[in-house]
Amino acid sequence: MAFREMIGYWDLITALLAVAALIALRGRLPRAIWLVWLFLAIATIDTVNAIVQSLRYDVTSYALGVNWVIVTLYVPALLVSSLMIFLLLIRPVGPVTEDGNEPMTT
pLDDT confidence bin for 83, thresholds 50/70/90: very high
How crowded is residue 3: how many other Cβ atoms within 10 Å of its Cβ?
Answer: 13
Distance between CA atoms of 50 and 4, rounded to whole angstroms? 10
CA angle 14, 86, 96 (to 5 degrees): 115
42 within 8 A of 13, measured Cβ to Cβ: yes
Distance between CA atoms of 63 and 61, rounded to whole angstroms? 7
Distance between CA atoms of 94 and 101, rounded to whole angstroms? 10
Q: Where are the domains positioned within the chain? A: 3-90
Q: What is the mean pLDDT of the chain?
A: 87
More confident residue, 71 or 86: 86
Q: What pLDDT does residue 14 have?
A: 95
Q: What pLDDT does residue 6 have?
A: 86
Distance between CA atoms of 31 and 76, rounded to whole angstroms? 29
